[in-house]
Structure 1
Amino acid sequence: MNFWIIQTFNGISYGALLFLLASGLSLIFGVMRIVNLSHGSYFLLGGYFALTVMNLTGSWLLALPVSALAVAVIGILIERVFLRRLGFDPLRQVLLTVGFALLFQQAALDIWGGDNMDIKVPAALDWSLQRGTLFFPVYRMFMIATAACVGIALWLVIETTRLGAVVRAAVDDAEMARGIGIDTSKVSLSIFALGAFLAALGGVVGGAFIGVYPGLDFEILPLSFAVVIIGGLGSLRGAVVGSLIVGLIDNFGKALFPEIAYFTLYAPMALILAVKPTGLFGREG
């Protein structure tokens, strides 16, 4: 029984990390129809920027917002200067974002080196809660709480504010939204910046959990795409459910069937898509 409890807890905490990365990616997909293959780079850069801020200031709390905001600025520049000029050509989007992913990866290697680094968290989070023979790392609880707070904040904005109504309109039908006077270019810029911010925040939070190292961006990116595909494009609820599904399946798959861990993850994804091609909460049409 202890095994199942611990693995479930680990899967939920990993799913919380994936939610920070995939929620922004899902909104970018839904609003902008951009296949952003450099999204994992924002996760990686968030971790490296946090290490730099911590080396300069010694503050982990300061590293969280500073790193996320710095990567959000990079996302704004990429969207405004490069992606905006491409229009809606998927092939060009893929080529450009892959190019940026490779550039960011090489830049990170040149600046921070190739060693695996860990982000040291405050002592208040660096301990475990014991219940009987079970130990629950408090930092993983913090990850779950962070993802929950971000999810609630996003839900409140999207479901209860005028800005959220504009975003929902752009997700449902961007062309119709433009026809009724919504400036979808500003919406797209805001969503892209938010996606970069959340991915970088995930990189800072995840840096103490899985480390920061070259290649992490391309390891985490397929999992975030799996979340988006399972949950449905542009659906916040889909990002929540998809993150939990992927986190739990990935964790249990590696624990129970390490030789076929990728099969245990992507086979259910293929099955879901066979039944519902738009994902669990994606809209038809």
Structure 2
Amino acid sequence: MDFANFLIQLLNSVQYGLLLFMLAAGLTLIFGIMGVVNLAHGSFYMLGAYLAWSLAAKTGSLALAIVLGTVLSVAFGLVLERILFRHFYRRDHLDQVLLTFGLIYIFEEMRSILWGDDVHGVPIPAVLSASLPLTDTLSYPVYRLFMSGLCVLLAIGLYLLISKTRLGMKIRAGAFNHEMTEALGVNVKLIHAVVFALGVGLASIAGMIASPISSVYPNMGSQVLIMCFVVVVIGGIGSVRGALISALLVGLVDTFGKVLLPQVAGMLVYMLMAAVLLWKPEGLFKQ
């Protein structure tokens, strides 16, 4: 593998890892702070992709579709948390698994009714459709660099929100000791609603920005859900920092594995997870 091909695969692995982080960050926040095992998290990724396709077709702008889709996704998360998830925080994990597993089928049927079962493509905006030449024969799409840059900006924003704001302090306090935080006058129910909506929004944004390169198709959320759980387990449940490092590791192993060891590429990520759990059963980072 020459340097140009290595650079392309490295950029692809970073872009894939950052996209996984967008999904896993919401999942680890919901599970680590609220204690909810959300198997339907991949459906929010699918929701974002279909919103990007439908809104971009109506508005003629992917950027506007992402903004509108984010607002709709966050609002959907708030409503879903209020009418459904709020009643399952103190229930057994089995109840949560059954609920969210059922939601996968409900969301798929809603998707089929609203948007049909065809495969759709989302056009890349003209301003991002160029490629950067690396050699005489190899180039790298600008849109993939845009995806990585946007994910980095959102990761920084999430870090600042969790670590440097009063809301983030309340979120961390609620995760550490729910009863004491509530006794101090913090509206923990509101904090849970914000965290859940944030998780839905991050997953939907990931689906929206990925739609131009991965297409939009039925059941697309299920394919990323397992990888999200792998990232969360490796990084440590409830740790956003762990989710970022784990997602980048998974991106590197998965991308280079498919190039260098295609015969066993499908199992390399799970071997990485097994190795990490043997070394640190709680994951790379604690909450």
TM value normalised by structure 2: 0.94
Unaligned runs of at least 5 residues, structure 1: none
Q: Please give the per-residue CA displacement for 1:48-78, whole angstroms capped at 9, x wherever unaligned.
A: 1111112212121110011122122222222
2:86 aligns with 84
Identify the range of structure 1 (108-117 vs 191-200) with the bigger mean alpha-carbon deviation: 108-117
CA distance in 1, matches of 2:212, 2:260: 25
For residue 147 of structure 1, report the CA deviation from its aligned partner. 0.7
**For the Cα contact (< 8 Å) 2:53–2:216, is it kept in 1?**
no
Q: 1:209 & 1:23 partners in 2: Cα distance?
A: 21
Rounded to whole Å, the distance in 2 between the matches of 1:152 and 1:86 is: 31
- Counterpart check, 1:98 vs 2:113: no
1:104 alignment partner AA: F
Find 1:181's aligned residue among 158, 181, 185.
185
Q: Which amino acid aligns with 1:279?
A: G
In structure 2, runs of 5+ residues without a counterpart are none
Q: What secondary structure sits across from 1:129 in the alignment? A: strand
Aligned partner of 1:4 in structure 2 is 6
Could you tell me whether the CA contact under 8 Å between 1:75 and 1:196 is conserved in 2? yes
Moved more, 170-179 or 70-79: 170-179
Residue 250 (structure 1) aligned to one of 240, 249, 254: 254
TM-superposition CA deviations, 1:170-227 (whole Å, max 9, x none):
2223233223332211111000001101111111001012111112100011111111
- SS of equivalent residue, structure 1 residue 136: strand
The aligned residue for residue 220 of structure 1 is: 224
Task: Report the CA distance between 1:231 and its aligned residue.
Answer: 1.1
- C-alpha root-mean-square deviation of aligned residues, in Å? 1.5
Structure 1 CA distance for aligned equivalents of residues 112 and 104 of structure 2: 12
Within a 5 Å distance, the mapping from 1:187-226 to structure 2 comes to: 187-226=191-230
What do the CA deviations read for 1:58-105 (whole angstroms, capped 9, x no partner)? 121110011122122222222111111123221111111111111111
Q: Secondary structure at the match of 2:216?
A: coil
For residues 217 and 199 of structure 2, the distance between their equivalents in structure 1, rounded to whole angstroms, comes to 21
Pairs within 5 Å for 1:1-285: 1=2, 2-88=4-90, 89-133=92-136, 134-283=138-287
Structure 2 CA distance for aligned equivalents of residues 239 and 257 of structure 1: 25
CA distance in 2, matches of 1:18, 1:212: 17
TM-score (norm. length: structure 1) = 0.94
Helix, strand or coil at the partner of 2:128: coil
Cα distance in structure 2, aligned partners of 1:24 and 1:91: 20
Q: Distance in 2 between matches of 1:209 and 1:172?
A: 39
Number of corresponding residues? 283
Find the aligned partners of 1:33 and 1:240 in 2 and give their Cα distance. 20
Deviation readout 1:24-64 (Å, 9 max, x if unpaired): 11111111011111111011011111111122121211100
Give the % identical residues: 41
Instruction: Report the AA paired with residue 67 of structure 2.
Output: P
Q: Is the 8 A contact 1:68 1:196 kept in 2?
A: no
**CA contact 1:11–1:247 (8 Å) conserved in 2:** yes
Return the offset for 1:130.
0.8
